Amino acid sequence: MGSVPLSKLFTLNTVAELICFLVALIFLYRDKSAAWRLLIVYLLLTFAAETTGLVIRKVFLSPNLPVYNTFVVVECFFTSYFFYTLFKPYGYSMKWLFGWLALFTVMYISELFYVQFADFVAVTASIMSIVFVLACMWFYYLKLTDERYEPLLQSAEFWWVSGALFFYFGSTACNIFFDYLKQNEVSTYNSSIRYIIFNVLNIILYSFWSFSSVCRYRQRKSFR
């Protein structure tokens, strides 16, 4: 077991996650919606998973795959539930959510057994990303077809979805070529291209989500 300075655990990703968690905690802890309050818990779990992954890799010098494989489930369940709450006002029933989560569970377990718990569930994660991209597009479509005008620049939901779209759409190429990059990138570049891309995507995602928390707070205050 190696020792690692605490500063090494604070990467660009973890710092972005921590800031976003703190912003969400400040602005959302009194929110009436369960989904928005759950975002605080989700961001805390994200930060915890990322830090645990770093500790396992840098302190215990062991593969951190189990952490990320577990976190995918949390990510999928939370994001799907959040999308469901966004679509609920448009008359979408729970069966869509349960249907998708059932499909995801089957894919996830099948892939875990297929890779014999020794690899990341990349195919499931890729399909999940595509489903979330489609959900983002569908959200925009619903907003466009909605006859009522809504100031989108001040809409918490809009910024949350936009952040998710940037993240899941931007990571598509990396997800699809996950296996190839894992084998070839280190030998090609000094710094992993996957790491750079995910750093950029995370910063965009957490900036958008932080702003979304602020917008949600403003909405709550103005409706009082």
Partner 1 sequence: MPISPKEIVSLIGLTSIVFLIAPIFLIRYVLLYNRKKKKHEEEKLAMVKTLETELLRTQMEVQEQTLKTIAYDLHDNIGQLLSLTTITLSSINLDDKVKTAEKIALVEDLTARSTKEVKALSRMLHSEELLSRGLFSAIEFELDWMKRSDRFTINFKKPKFESFTEDAGKETIMFRLFQEIINNIIQHSKATEIFVTLEQVESSLKLTIRDNGVGFDVDATLKRKTGMGLYNIKKRAAIINGTASIDSTRGAGSVITITVPY
Please report, as ranges, the residues that interact with partner 1 according to CB under 8 A: 137, 140, 143-144, 149-153, 162, 165-166, 169-174, 177, 180-181, 184-185, 187-189, 193, 196-197, 200-201, 204
Nearer to partner 1, 34 or 137 (CB): 137
Short-list 171, 150, 166, CA closest to 215: 150
Task: Name which of 102 and 152 has its Cβ closer to partner 1.
Answer: 152
Q: How far is CA 161 from the centre of its chain?
A: 11
Residue closer to partner 1 (CB basis): 1 or 144: 144
Q: Work out how close the CB of 135 gets to partner 1 at its nearest, in angstroms, rounded to a whole number.
A: 14
Minimum CB separation of residue 132 from partner 1 in Å reads: 12
Query: Minimal distance in Å, beta carbon 24 to partner 1?
Result: 21
The count of other CB atoms within 10 Å of the CB of residue 103 is 12
For partner 1, the closer of residues 3 and 188 by Cβ is: 188
Q: Is 113 exposed, middle or buried (0-12, 13-18, 19+ CB in 10 A)?
A: exposed
Minimum distance, C-beta of residue 27 to partner 1, in the bound complex (Å): 22
Q: Least distance in Å: CB of 125 to partner 1?
A: 15
Torsion of CA 105, 45, 134, 124, to 10 degrees: -40
Q: Name which of 37 and 143 has its Cβ closer to partner 1.
A: 143
- State the residue for tokens 């998708």: 100
Q: Is 66 helix (H, G, I), strand (E, B) or coil?
A: helix
Contact present, 197 and 205 (Cβ < 8 Å): no
Which letter, b or e, does each residue of 77-96 get, where b requires 16 or more Cβ atoms within 10 Å of its Cβ? bbbbbbbbebbeeeeeeeee
C-alpha–C-alpha distance, residues 86 and 139, integer Å: 8
Cβ-based nearer residue to partner 1, 67 or 135: 135
- Minimum CB–partner distance for residue 120 and partner 1 (Å): 17
